[in-house]
Amino acid sequence: MHHAFDRRLPPSALLLTVLAVGPVLAQQNADEPAAAELAAVRVVGTAEKTKGSVTLDARGLPAAVTVIGREDIARTNVGRDYTDLLRRVPGVNAYSFGQGDIGSPIKMRGFTGTGAHGGDVAIYVDGVPQNFPSANQGGPGMSDLSWLTPDMIERIEVIQGPFSALYGDQNRAGAINIVTRDRGESSLGLSSGSYGSGRGTAVFSGEHDAVRSFVVADLYRTDGYRDNSGVARGNLFAKASLDTGDALWSLRGSYYKSDWDAPGYLSYTSLVNGTVGPRDRDPNAPPLFGDAERYGLVLTRRPARGEEGWHASAFAEHYEKRRANPAGGNPNGYNVQNDDRAVYGGRAQYHVGIGGQAAVTAGAELRADRGTGVNQRWDTPAGPGTNVNNHWDLDLLTYGLFAQAQWQVLESFKLVGGVRRDAFDYRIDNLKQPAASVDYDASVTTPRAGFVWSPLKTLDVYANVGEGFRSPAERELSPPGPLGPPGAAGGTSFPDLKPPKVKARDVGFNARLGTQWTLSAAAYRTVNKSEIRETTPGSGVFAGIGDTTRNGWEADVRFDATDAFSVYASYGRVKGRINTPVNAGQDLISGLPEHTYRLGAEYTATLAAGVLRANADVFQLSGAPYYVGTSPVPLFSRTYTRYDLRVSLERNRVRYAVYGVFQPREFAGEQAGASVDPRPRPDVGVALTYTF
């Protein structure tokens, strides 16, 4: 494997060390819980009293919102990355690839296309956008949160649908806002699991006068289920916070490095007929690999008390990722993708309440993304050749203005409205085909409006209309042309492409039935306007060619039988259609399962002078359609089922845990298509955490 952690650390990693050891060493009192963990927020679906309140909190939106707090995070089986934390969210399908740290799919509201690597969902961490509009590896809007581990997260807000004006590019299916921790219990943790997987985590929290610090160091490795699928990763996170009385300032830094091997994908037909086994790597390619490094600093400001006032963030980071893919038709070659980027920018918004009956949030944000994207052919595993699939030099500037207002017209009725104006100033130098280089200037306006009606204290009814968008990617504006040397003749740019927009409508309700039952449901219709696609497969010509529609509904219910025992379930159904398919008859959205089921239970009890917690979850996706070639007849993947079990016992500052993930259906997975990434049927492990 290519696991190499012996390179010298960049200057930002040295600064992280200072952040890590400063306030932590200044005061570390194990006898007093000065850094006690913040209270957990537990929300199922959208059933929360604050939906009808005038608040900046996402739960006040007239939309389907789920907030995942510290208690849920601590109770969840987390494998390779944070996306396992989203598995209980109704209507969301999130998972990790078995191909290394290549980004994580997050799919909701029927979006699966660019969402293969987290596109279609706008993701922010502490106000910092995480999507890459023009990513060489992962496609338009991909997000890569491998640098983020569960111990770093305070809460996750999942907003389904493009109904918040606070989030911009990629907000077509919805948005995810992640807030990192600034305090907690210090701890040391170890875990060991199947297939040579293991994790070591150290958390340090300290407080000295008005300054507090929080540090997480995490090492993860696995041999992997399949041949040539090992991963080695290191993460360091450090955050120092200062309370000035009227504002809480935080400076956080992170450093992430990963090195992996990848087994590639296997033909579904070959698996079924036994030509290859589920643990084999791709026999038609050499051993694949990848590596990544990311580091940066983020400065944030928020009001020290309440919501009113300035909320701001400024950030700068370096991101580099390399990934080898099979070279089609050459069993000894690679196509090696590489992104090398510097990203910086900022965001500021001001929130003001008006007489307790209304509130306005207004702000602006800017993001600069500069660097290169290269996909180079390696004709042998020894090194690169002279031909490239693409090579862009990118200077991408995005800036936007946004406002969102709330007005409680009556005690039981609230109006919410918002609007964004986003603009793009791109310079794309196409080094593969210089004639296709382009300067792109465009803008897009996306409004939202909705209401919350609470006829009873235990019932909230809401409805929305809203628009979201994504910016065109480099390959759509400046197609690279066929494989060949840099500086090739020919090439055409498409500077008139408009950002694809969606228009969504939904209606839903949250009900609290007595003290034990909560129920929520939502129905939606989304029209994806001016979708950009390649007009003829392989032509390299892209255009806005039409619309897609998605109609669906979701429902979830929770029953708190006692203080110790709860059960919950959810169901989602969505039908998606391509109104103007590239190939006649192929009108189903590939990879979109029609049915999603979830069922789970939680149990908490006192045992042996400690606290016992047990969780059991079942997740199932119906078979999803896909097409082979130009045939109009869809094929369907196998139904996918996953069982998660976890039991932990906390006693005398020690938490013991055993866990298991079971995926019993052979050759089934969250992805649908002619190629498959087989997963292990059982995956079990143990964990030990000591707090101090």
List, in order, residues 6 or more apart from 317 with CB less than 8 Å away: 294, 295, 296, 297, 342, 343, 344
Longest Cα pair distance anywhere in the chain, in angstroms?
76
For β-strands 64-68 and 92-94, DSSP reports them as unpaired
Kindly indicate the confidence band of residue 22, based on its pLDDT and cuts at 50, 70 and 90.
very low
| pLDDT band of 68, cuts 50, 70, 90 | very high
- Candidates 534, 521, 537, 543; CA nearest to 462 is 521
Separation between Cα atoms, residue 481 and residue 497, nearest integer Å: 18
Secondary structure class of 628 (helix, strand, coil): coil
Write phi, then psi, for 311 (nearest 5 degrees).
Answer: -120, 120
3-class SS of residue 26 = helix
Q: What angle do CA 33, 35, 37 make, to 5 degrees?
A: 95
First to last CA, the chain: 36
Q: Tokens at residue 616, please?
A: 């059991």
pLDDT band at 544 (very low <50, low <70, confident <90, very high): low
Please give the DSSP secondary-structure letter assigned to residue 434: G
Q: 654-662 and 247-262: which strand pairing?
A: unpaired
Residue 533's pLDDT is 58
Q: Do the bridges between strand 131-132 and strand 128-129 make them parallel or antiparallel, or are there none, so unpaired?
A: unpaired
pLDDT, one tens digit per residue, over 102-116 is 887 888 999 875 545
| Cα distance between residue 165 and residue 448, in whole Å | 7
Tokens standing for residue 97: 């690839």
Q: Shortest CA distance to 198 belongs to which of 688, 690, 692, 691?
A: 688
Average pLDDT over residues 19-25: 40
Lowest mean pLDDT among 294-298, 428-432, 679-683: 679-683
Give alpha helix (H) positions in 262-359: 268-273
User: Which pair of structure tokens corresponds to residue 406?
Assistant: 């709330």
In the numeric block, which tokens belong to residue 498?
A: 């408009």
Q: Give residue 669's pLDDT.
A: 83
Q: Name the pLDDT band for 594 (thresholds 50, 70, 90).
A: very high
Alpha helices in 214-353 (DSSP H): 268-273
Q: How far apart (Å, rounded) are the C-alpha atoms in residues 310 and 39? A: 24
271: DSSP letter? H
Rounded-to-integer distance, Cα 556 and Cα 439, Å? 47
Name the band, by pLDDT with cuts 50, 70 and 90, for residue 285.
very high
Mean pLDDT value across residues 72-100 = 83
Phi, psi of 316 (to 5 degrees): -150, 135
How high is the pLDDT of residue 528?
87
Average pLDDT over residues 583-595: 88
The pLDDT of residue 348: 98
Per-residue pLDDT at 106: 87
**pLDDT for the residue numbered 467:** 96
Please provide the DSSP assignment of 254-293 as one string: EEEEEEEEE---EEHHHHHHTSS-TTPPPTTSPPEEEEEE
Confidence bin at 28 (pLDDT 50/70/90): very low
Both tokens assigned to 426:
């791109």
The pLDDT of residue 2: 46
